[in-house]
Amino acid sequence: MILEAKNIKKRYGSASAGYLEVLKGVTVSFTEGEVVAVVGQSGAGKSTLVHMLGLLDRPTEGEVLFGGNDVTRYSDEQISKVRNTSIGFVFQFHHLLPEFTALENILMPSYIAGNSGPAFTEKAQSLLSDVGLADRASHRPAELSGGEQQRIAVARSLMNDPKIVFADEPSGNLDSDNADRLHDLLFSLREKHRRTFVIVTHNKELAARADRIITLQNGLIVA
C-alpha cells in the first residue's frame, strides 16, 4: 500500500459564518503501478481530495497514511519534503516557468530537493526522450505547443522518482488529438516506470482506460 486515506473530511469557513463541508468522510487506498480515475460532477470534491492526498492541504479530520505513516501529524517542513521527494503533480495548466528551458523546468524538482549535477541532467534528458521531446530541451515554454508543454509537465512530475503522481484534469486544456496523445503517454509511463497515477478527469474515454474508477458525489465516494 503506497497511500491510504481514512475517513478524511474537509470543511471551510468558520462557526460564525458557517461551514462548507467539501469532503464528508472519504476512505481510499492506492497500490503500486495502478492507474485510478477520479470522476464526479463539478463541486463533488475531486480536486479537494487530490489536494488532501497529495499533501497540498491538511484534512479537517481523518488520517492520510503515506508508507504507513500518518503524515497529517507531520510538520509543514516534513510534509514539504515528502511531497517533493515522493509525490508528483500534473495540473490542467502546466505551470511551467517561462524563463527556463524545457530541460530546466524538468530539473526544477531536483533543484528544490538540493540535487544537481551531470547525473540529474542526464536523467532529465532521459525523461524528455520518454515524453517524445528530446529535440526540445533548449526551448522555452512559449516556443512549445500546448500539448508539448503538458508533456514537459508530465516529465517534470517524474523527476524525483515519485511513488505516486496526481494529475488534475491533465488534458482538460488540450484539443482531442493532443488529449489522446497525453493519455497514451500516461499509460506508457505507468508501464515503463511502474508509477501509480491518480487522475481527476471528466474525460469518459480516459476514465474507461483506468484500472479502477472512484466516483465522488457530494463529498463521498459512491462507487
171 compared with 187, residue with greater pLDDT: 187
Per-residue confidence (pLDDT) for residue 179, from 0 to 100 = 80
* Cα separation values, 71 from 1, 18, 26, 30, 163, Å: 15, 28, 16, 16, 15
Residue 74 in 3-state DSSP? coil
First and final CA of the chain: distance in angstroms? 20
Query: pLDDT above 70 covers what percent of the chain?
Result: 98
- pLDDT, one tens digit per residue, over 9-52 is 998 877 777 778 899 999 999 988 899 999 988 878 888 898 88
Q: Name the DSSP letter for residue 162.
A: -
For residue 50, give the nearest of 94, 1, 88 by alpha carbon: 88
Distance CA 190, CA 165 (A): 10
Could you give the count of Cα atoms lying within 13 Å of 118 in the half-sphere of its Cβ? 0
- pLDDT, one tens digit per residue, over 184-197 is 878 888 888 788 99
Cell readout for 189 is 509511463
Residue 170 has pLDDT above 80, yes or no: no
Mean pLDDT within 175-190: 80
Amino acid at 219: G
Could you give the count of Cα atoms lying within 13 Å of 123 in the half-sphere of its Cβ? 19
Q: Which helix (H) or strand (E) holds 96?
A: none
- pLDDT, one tens digit per residue, over 50-105 is 888 988 888 999 999 988 889 888 898 888 888 888 888 887 666 788 899 999 99
Tell me if the domain spanning 34-56+75-212 has CATH number 3.40.50.300: yes
Residue 182 in 3-state DSSP? helix
How would you write 97-153 as a 3-class SS string? CCCCCHHHHHHHHHHHCCCCCHHHHHHHHHHHHHCCCHHHCCCCHHHCCHHHHHHHH
Name 72's Cβ contacts closer than 8 Å, sequence gap at least 6.
58, 59, 62, 63, 64
Q: What is the pTM of this model?
A: 0.87
